[in-house]
């Protein structure tokens, strides 16, 4: 008997081997990734998918910038919605029948401290003159070693607003794609109306929230390595297999998982299990089947 499995796909599943995001490269990458997903569905698992969208949003932001003097730039929440639909269509074409995409909104708090200190870099690097030009349009840019890059807030996901629709489709037997890119960030104004905000929500934290909301048994965070690694980049590095939430919290607090890469994945895996999920798995896409049976991967339980 299969399980309810939510898989958070990393960006490597959506782009070419060199990170390129041309339409042909994206289509080939998605088709390859979906072969692994189709195998899980064939085994009887009810699969829900989330995905990253960094390169795709980066392309839209570049188009915004190049055409800013011709057409008004679209806001970041629109970019998120567009990429959910585009990537979702590629996934649907690769999976065939009994798959569905839900353009998904994620509720955030407009007073989240992240809005006062935007640190999430998005888009490409530019020279200072271009950065200053867009600062005059209200954007925040910061200088890095490779040049200037736009930064935005990355607030905490509070609720996946469209989870009931996702649940209904899962219960009806569909493989569902939802909360791509962490979801379209929205907040409630003083009158209770929802409006999009300029922010990027961490896709793995959003995946953990979605997994709880749709009664998922297992949260799988697919990356490009078969395990999370303790002491990464040191002589004492070792792959992490089965681990309790208490043990993993200690390792996380000790700084074993980099903030910009494995850290959010570990945090998402912890949150899902700590808040009632059966188990989380961090592993590579091709190893998911073996990880679900406990043969490989970093498996997190209470």
**Predicted local distance difference test score (pLDDT) of residue 267:** 95
- pLDDT computed for residue 89 by the predictor: 95
Domains present along the chain, CATH in parentheses: 4-108+156-301 (3.40.1160.10), 119-152 (no CATH)
Q: Please report the pLDDT score of residue 207 as a whole number.
A: 97
What pLDDT shows up at residue 294? 86
> What are the φ and ψ backbone dihedral angles of 199, each rounded to 5 degrees?
-160, 165
Q: State how far the Cα of 127 lies from the Cα of 120, in Å rounded to an integer.
A: 18
* pLDDT over 80 at 134, yes or no: yes
pLDDT tier for residue 1 given thresholds of 50, 70 and 90: low
Task: Please report the DSSP string for 240-297 in residue order.
Answer: --EEEHHHHHHHHHTT-S-TTTHHHHHHHHHHHHHTT-SEEEEEEGGGHHHHHTTSSS
Place of tokens 């009887």: 44
> Which carries the bigger pLDDT value, residue 67 or residue 118?
118
> Quick check: 206 pLDDT over 70?
yes
Out of 11, 80, 88, 297, which one is annotated catalytic?
Answer: 11
Average pLDDT over residues 271-289: 93
Q: pLDDT at residue 90 above 70? A: yes
Given 59, 88, 265, 297, which residue is catalytic? 265
Average pLDDT over residues 66-72: 83
* Average pLDDT over all residues of the chain: 91
Q: Which of 120-124, 175-179, 240-244 has the lowest mean pLDDT?
A: 120-124
Percent of the chain with pLDDT over 70: 99
**11 classed as catalytic:** yes
Residue tagged active-site, from 2, 12, 147, 196: 12
* pLDDT at residue 185 in the model: 97
249-279 tens-digit pLDDT? 999 998 888 777 889 999 999 999 999 999 9
When comparing pLDDT for 1 and 301, which is higher? 301
* Structure confidence at residue 171 (pLDDT): 96
The per-residue pLDDT for range 8-30, each reduced to its tens digit, is 998 767 777 777 778 888 899 99
Write out pLDDT tens, residues 32-66: 999 999 999 999 999 999 999 988 888 888 888 78
Predicted pLDDT of residue 67? 81
Q: Of 52, 88, 181, 203, which residue is the catalytic one?
A: 203
Spatial contact of 167 and 213, defined as CB atoms under 8 Å apart: yes
- Would you call 148 helix, strand, or coil by DSSP? strand
How many Å apart are CA 163 and CA 176, to the nearest integer?
A: 11
151: left (phi over 0), alpha (psi -120 to 50) or beta: beta
pLDDT band of 219, cuts 50, 70, 90:
very high
Strands (E), the chain: 4-9, 46-51, 99-102, 105-107, 120-126, 140-144, 147-152, 159-160, 175-178, 184-188, 194-196, 218-223, 229-230, 238-239, 242-244, 279-284, 298-301
Which is the catalytic residue, given 2, 16, 58, 120?
120
Query: What's the maximum distance between 2 C-alpha atoms anywhere in the chain?
Result: 59
Residue 63 annotated among the catalytic residues of the structure? no
User: Is 302 part of the annotated catalytic residue set?
Assistant: no
Over residues 182-191, mean pLDDT: 95
Mean pLDDT of 136-147: 90
CA distance 51 to 66: 27
Q: What is the per-residue pLDDT for 231?
A: 81
- Could you tell me which of 216, 167, 168 has the C-alpha nearest to residue 3? 216
């Amino acid at each position: 008997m299969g399980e309810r499995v939510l898989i958070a796909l990393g960006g490597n599943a959506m782009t070419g081997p060199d990170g390129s995001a041309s339409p042909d490269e994206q289509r080939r990458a998605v088709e390859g990734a979906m072969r692994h997903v189709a195998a899980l569905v064939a085994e009887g698992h009810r699969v829900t998918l989330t995905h990253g969208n960094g390169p795709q949003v980066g392309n839209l932001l570049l188009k915004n910038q190049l055409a800013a003097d011709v057409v008004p730039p679209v806001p970041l929440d629109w970019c998120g919605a567009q990429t959910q639909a585009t990537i979702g269509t590629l996934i649907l074409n690769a999976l065939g029948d009994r798959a569905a995409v839900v353009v998904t909104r994620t509720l955030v708090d407009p007073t989240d401290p992240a809005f006062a200190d935007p640190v999430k870099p998005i888009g490409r690097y530019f020279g200072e003159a271009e950065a200053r030009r867009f600062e005059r349009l209200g954007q925040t840019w910061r200088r890095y070693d490779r040049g200037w890059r736009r930064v935005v807030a990355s607030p905490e996901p509070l609720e996946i607003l469209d989870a009931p629709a996702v649940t209904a489709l899962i219960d009806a037997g569909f493989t569902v794609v939802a909360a791509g890119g962490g979801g379209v960030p929205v907040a409630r104004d003083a009158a209770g109306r929802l409006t999009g905000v300029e922010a990027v929500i961490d896709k793995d934290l959003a995946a953990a929230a979605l997994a709880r909301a749709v009664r998922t048994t297992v949260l799988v965070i697919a990356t490009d390595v078969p395990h999370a690694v303790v002491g990464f980049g040191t002589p004492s590095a070792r792959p992490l297999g089965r681990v309790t939430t208490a043990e993993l919290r200690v390792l996380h607090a000790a700084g074993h998982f980099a903030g910009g890469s494995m850290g959010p994945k570990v945090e998402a895996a912890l949150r899902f299990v700590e808040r009632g999920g059966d188990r989380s798995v961090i592993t590579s896409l091709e190893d998911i089947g073996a990880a679900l049976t406990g043969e490989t991967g970093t498996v997190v339980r209470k």
